[in-house]
Structure formats: structure tokens, C-alpha cells
A and B are shown apart, each in its own frame.
Chain A
Amino acid sequence: MNVFDILGPVMVGPSSSHTAGAVRIGYVTRVMLAEEPVRAEICLHGSFAATGKGHGTDTAIIAGLLGMKPSDMNVPRSFEIAREKGLDFHFENMVVKDAHPNTAVINVEGDGGRSIRIQASSIGGGRIMVNRIDGIEVNFTGESNTLIVHNTDMPGNVSRITSLLAEKKINIATMQLYRHEKGGFAVMILETDQDVPQEIIEEAQVLEGIIKVTYLQAVEV
């Protein structure tokens, strides 16, 4: 924690957890979708469901899905902008088992046919934690450069990705592995010290056993 975790973020009010964090959840979801979102189903859980409306949590999530950051003055106008851009959205309240009180589950489809389901929570001060991707439990904040690799659960996949990164002198800060069930489909989350260039992502994408590669450049809180 440094002084800029104390003073900051610059954000649109009224609440760092219910507004700024919610924008970030939407934003990170958009980046992981890697397309222009056209349809979104959003479920709010716990305190997001109870006081979300008064805090603009709904407007905030849509703003993030549209690519806005928490400091964007247009956050309060996001519903209007979504209509202009043709993003169709729907909100519901839902109880998510064992979830943080400020949690949202977002099902989103993009204009190129990709879709993704993200469960994320706002953990205070505008910081967030992504808890699930497409049903698989994960754990990352998006504050570091993050490479998310969907792959088949087969031997060799992890080393293929790590050696590709090593070759390009990209240092892995942390690495986590998650899977649905043995032999099924798995997700690798790699946080890196350096920015991962586009060509590496493309190279990784065509490796054997790799289903989908998504890259999230570190976003300042």
C-alpha cells in the first residue's frame, strides 16, 4: 500500500466500493470479452442488490462495460450511451452462495460472437477481485498485467505458455491454475511484471491445447 492508495482514486461518486469498484468490474469484463458488448445480463448480490440503485451501481457497471473508467464524467449517463451504442442490458437481483457482499455476475455477449460469464466483487477503496470466469473459480485483481489462458487440462500446456513468456523475457510474478474437472477444461492466470505484447498473445492462441487467451493490461485503481 502506498500514499496513492490513501489519496485516490479520482472517481465519480458516491461510493468507492459501490460506484468506482462497480465501474471497474464492468471495465475488466469488457476487456476480457475483447469485443464490443451487445447484450448483457447482470445479477447483483448482497449489498450491491440492496443499496446498489442509490449508489448508482447499475449505471456504474454499464459504464464500465462501455469502456469507461471510474473517473469518467459520463458514468452517470451510461444508460443513455448504452442505448445509443446498441448495448442491450438487463438487471436482476440474485443470491450467490458464499459470495462477498458486493458481488456482481455478468453474462455478456460481444458483436463478434464471443461471450463470457464473470463473477467479481468490489472489495473496498475501488479495488476488485474477479472470482469466477465461465464458472471456474479464479482469483485476481486486474491491478497487474494478467494473462488468462483457457486450455484443455492436458500435460504440457503450462510449460508451453511459460516457456513462450520466458523466451520473450517476460517475468511471471504469480501463477494460478484452476480446472473444472480432471481432463476437462482449465484456466491459467498469470500475472506478469512486464506488459505482454499482442504478438505473444497471438502466438499463444495457436499453441496446441490452448482454447482462448485473454490479456488484461494493468489498470490503475
Chain B
Amino acid sequence: MAYNSISEIIEICKEDGISFYEAVMRDTCKDTGHSEEENMTRMSEMWRVMCEASVGYDADLKSRSGLVGGSGRQMEAYMKSGGSYCGEFILTVMAEALKMGESNACMKRIVAAPTAGSCGVMPSVYIAVKKNHGFSDEAIVKSMFVAAGVGQVIAARAFIAGATGGCQAEIGTAAAMTAAGLVALKDGTPEQIANAVAMTLKGMLGLVCDPVAGLVEVPCVKRNVTGAANAVVCAEMALAGIDSAIPVDQVIDAMREVGDNMPSIYKETACGGCANTPRGLEVARMLEKS
């Protein structure tokens, strides 16, 4: 893996007069030994599975704890009722994020992006972008490389697992990747991509990993929604020309510092946060008995 910082990618874009997508693709071709076309095919398969998972959502399923299931349908019904504050685009994002998170909790097929717990953030936004703004599958798949390239740098400089860095590393990374993809879709500059990533991560810095009973259900499913919304608003800020006061690589390093200093009760051990609330503990005891 060639890129250890976002600034390095921006540098290469400038020097060689290429786009962020091209910089990531060039590195991917080198690493996988496959052509651009082959890599595009493989990424298209990820996108296809994401869409298939959305279509295959079953609102009647319940997760093992019984706490998760059916919210995606509720959100869609609310959207149709027409009385909401938000517009259709963001409502679609919300419904899709819930559907994907619930499908994951109910053992349906998903794409880890970057993890299974955070699998709803990216597809929810892309599905809404396709439905409401008419972007092509090809444009979406290309921007997924931009998103994954950003994820790669975060994985190299910090972490992408709740067990090592808290939820900022999972939902935070998923949101930052998605924001980057959104900016790339609208032909934003590499600097704008960097700003979107920085702003998204700053908004999620310090988020703890506190799954009730140790299961990827609560608060995970709904955090996919808030992560996705965060990605959208930060991409919009970046596209509006707003800069991040702290450069992106320094924000990623800050996330690392926060994660390194985070007590282990907030790293997927189910000993703190939501997991340690009276209700959370009650659910855990209930599951142990069954």
C-alpha cells in the first residue's frame, strides 16, 4: 500500500495532473496486479451486493436479541406521509441506513464498509444519490475507489475497528469515506475531498464503541444513520468551499491519539456507555439466560 497520507495523494494529483480517483486506481492496479477494468468489475460487484441487500430487506425479521428490526419500514412510511422536516434525499439516506444496519444484525448478506457494524453508512448515501440525483452506477463505483482510498489512509495512520479505536474508527471512518465519495461524485477538487474527510472525522472524534450485550445491534444500527447524515452535511460544507481549519492528516492523527488513550471499556468490550446502562445490562442478563 503506497499512500500513508491524504496530502501525499493530493501532491500526486497535482504533480501528474490526475484526479483523486486516478491516483487511487493507479495504486490499486499496482497492488492487485489487475487492470483498471478488472478492478472496476470487482468494485461493481460490491455495489451490486449493496443494492441487492437494500432490495432484499425484510422488515419482519428480528435480530437475536429481539431489539433490532422493522425501523427501516417505519422510516419509509414516515417519508411517504410527507410531514417531515427533511427532504426526500436525506429521508432516503436514513431509511436505507436503517435497512442495511438491520439486515446485518439479522444475518443477511452485506458488504463490510469498512466493517460490518458500519455497513449501512456508505450504501445508504449512494442509493439515495442514485435515486434522487440520477448518478450512474459507473460514476458511483468510481467514487467508491476515492472513498476506499481514504479508508486505506485512515487504516494506515489510525484504525478502522471499534476494538482498537472505538466507534470513531468504525462509523467515523465509514462517514469520512462516504463524504469523500460524495465530493468526488460532484467533481470536487482533491482539496475539497480532504476537507470533507477532515470535517466529518472531527464531528465524530471520541465516539465510543459500546454495543449492548456485545452485539452489533444497539447503538450500532442507528449510528449508521447519524454517521451517514454527518457524511452528507460535511460533503456539502466542503462543496460550498468551506475549509477545515485543521489539515486532514492531522485530524486522522488526532483520532489515533484519542483512540489510543480511550479506556478499554469503550472498545467493544461491552463494559461501558450504552452497554453499561441499567437497560443495557438487563438485556445482557436476559440473553445470558436464554
User: Which A positions have Cβ atoms within 8 angstroms of B?
Assistant: 1-17, 19-20, 47, 50-51, 53-56, 59, 71, 73, 75-76, 124-126
Residues of chain B with a CB closer than 8 A to A53's CB: 64, 287
Interface pairs A-B: 9 shortest CB-CB: A13-B104, A51-B214, A3-B148, A6-B151, A2-B31, A14-B216, A54-B215, A76-B107, A6-B148
Is the beta-carbon distance between A1 and B1 smaller than 8 angstroms?
Answer: yes
Complex Cα–Cα for A4 and B49 (A): 14
Extra inter-chain contacts (4) besides given A7-B112, A12-B110, CB under 8 Å: A7-B148, A11-B110, A54-B214, A55-B64
Is the beta-carbon distance between A10 and B114 smaller than 8 angstroms?
Answer: no
Closest to B103 in A: A13
User: Which B positions have Cβ atoms within 8 angstroms of A?
Assistant: 1, 24, 27-28, 31-32, 42-43, 45-46, 49, 63-65, 103-117, 119, 122, 144-145, 147-149, 151-152, 155-156, 160-161, 163, 177, 213-217, 270, 287
Residues of chain A with a CB closer than 8 A to B213's CB: 51, 54
Is the beta-carbon distance between B31 and A7 smaller than 8 angstroms?
Answer: no
Residues of chain A with a CB closer than 8 A to B148's CB: 3-4, 6-7
Is the beta-carbon distance between B156 and A7 smaller than 8 angstroms?
Answer: no
Closest to A101 in B: B163
Is the beta-carbon distance between B1 and A2 smaller than 8 angstroms?
Answer: yes
Is the beta-carbon distance between B43 and A14 smaller than 8 angstroms?
Answer: no
- Would you give 13 A-B contacts (Cβ < 8 Å), ordered by A? A2-B31, A7-B111, A7-B144, A10-B45, A10-B111, A11-B109, A13-B116, A14-B105, A15-B116, A15-B216, A50-B214, A55-B215, A125-B160
* Also in contact, A4 and B217, with CB within 8 A (given A12-B109, A124-B163, A126-B112): no
Q: Name the prevailing secondary structure of the B interface residues.
A: helix
Is the beta-carbon distance between A8 and B64 smaller than 8 angstroms?
Answer: no
Residues of chain B with a CB closer than 8 A to A16's CB: 112, 115-116
Is the beta-carbon distance between A7 and B110 smaller than 8 angstroms?
Answer: no
Complex Cα–Cα for A51 and B65 (A): 11
Q: How far is the CB of B216 from chain A (nearest CB, A)?
A: 4
Complex Cα–Cα for A17 and B170 (A): 14
Closest to A1 in B: B1
* Also in contact, A2 and B32, with CB within 8 A (given A8-B112, A75-B107): yes
Greatest chain B CB density within 10 A among A4, A5, A13, A20 is at A13
Q: How far is the CB of B117 from chain A (nearest CB, A)?
A: 7
Residues of chain A with a CB closer than 8 A to B104's CB: 13-14
Q: How far is the CB of A4 from chain B (nearest CB, A)?
A: 7
Residues of chain B with a CB closer than 8 A to A6's CB: 113-114, 148, 151-152, 155, 160, 177
- Neighbour of A7 across the interface among B27, B105, B116, B151, CB < 8 A: B151
* Also in contact, A13 and B214, with CB within 8 A (given A1-B155, A3-B24): no
Complex Cα–Cα for A76 and B105 (A): 12
